[in-house]
Structure 1
Amino acid sequence: MASGHDGSTSVLAVRNEPGLDTTTAEKTHRVELPYEEYSAALARRSVRHVLRQWNLAGIEDDVLLVVAELVANAVVHGRLMEGSGTKGITVAIGLRAGVLGLRVQDHNPARPIPRVARAGATSGRGLLLVTALSSGWTSRPSDDGGKAVHVFWNLAPDLGTPAQPDALPRAS
């Protein structure tokens, strides 16, 4: 299921976001998951293991909540496109130069759109959580006709906690 932690796994790059080109990441991890309800739990378990190996336990709670939300969405929405030779959901993470990147890819081309949930609604808040718990996110069409949601965290110098905004390098 998982394909190593040694940097040999190919992970799609995110363009226009500094530090997110995980194809050149120092460390990478990738896992393929089925369109099943239990996949969010498998993704959390896999990512938790890797974050602990990479000494990133300080950011673990935020990353695990984000990966669970995105995989749960991929199960619901990506399953709609299942069938025509699709393999499943891909979860990939990479670490490079103080940036942790996460990619969740499914086979539904519809890109996520943040919305405001009505009072009492049981869904519609996931992207608000992703926005609140990360340094940023974007979505892009994938080469297989689906989409990939990319999330990143700018890490503090100790690599174990999210950096505070004023601790981040300024663009010149």
Structure 2
Amino acid sequence: MNPALQERTRKFDAPASATSVRRLRHRVAEALGDWGIVDRADDVIHSCAEILANALAHGQTEVLTVHLDARDGWLRLTVPDNNPYPPYPADADRDDEDGRGVMLMTALADAWGFRAADDGKCVFAEFDISSYASK
């Protein structure tokens, strides 16, 4: 059966640190490779890095967690944190080194958003992987 049509989930945790953002990004890349999801891998990995960086900077959490859920031709990446405030687009100047995460997620993901959780929020990005059904 085609990887995009199979239901698959993975969860990765690591202590909240810049090193962990890199490590989790690599684990997501490995999972996508295991599942045969290559065409959208860069979009997923870059979105993951942006969401994790935001959770690290503003999420008030000691552990970074990434949930991957692939089903029905869609991949959902979710990162919970302890900050109840939603992500918002920053007004970054050309020379600013940060403030473009929401803009990048909007460009890379087919959909993204957040939902409130008891202890903060979960930020998610969704990717259409249904094109794998024809491969």
Give the TM-score taking structure 1 as reference length.
Answer: 0.70
More contact order relative to length (CA 8 Å, sep ≥ 6): 2
Q: Runs (4+) of structure 1 moved beyond 6 Å?
A: none
Contact kept in structure 1, 2:80 and 2:120, CA below 8 Å: yes
- Percentage of pairs with the same residue: 34
Per the alignment, in what secondary structure is the counterpart of residue 113 of structure 1? coil
Paired position in structure 2 for 1:93: 68
Deviation track 1:118-145 (CA, whole Å, cap 9, x = no partner) reads: 23211111110001001010111123x1
Paired position in structure 1 for 2:86: 111
Taking only aligned residues, the RMSD between alpha carbons, in angstroms, comes to 1.9
Per the alignment, in what secondary structure is the counterpart of residue 39 of structure 2? helix
Provide the rounded CA distance (Å) in 2 between the counterparts of 1:160 and 1:118.
42
Q: Which blocks of at least 5 consecutive residues in structure 2 are unaligned?
A: 1-5
Instruction: Name the one with the larger helix percent.
Output: 2
| Higher Rg | 1
- Between the two proteins, the alignment pairs up a number of residues equal to 130
Contact kept in structure 1, 2:13 and 2:64, CA below 8 Å: yes
Contact kept in structure 2, 1:59 and 1:160, CA below 8 Å: no
Q: Which blocks of at least 5 consecutive residues in structure 1 are unaligned?
A: 1-24, 162-172
Aligned pairs (5 A) from 1:15-164: 26-78=7-59, 81-82=60-61, 88-143=63-118, 145-158=119-132
1:157 is displaced (CA, Å) by 2.6
Give the TM-score taking structure 2 as reference length.
Answer: 0.88
Per the alignment, in what secondary structure is the counterpart of residue 47 of structure 2? helix
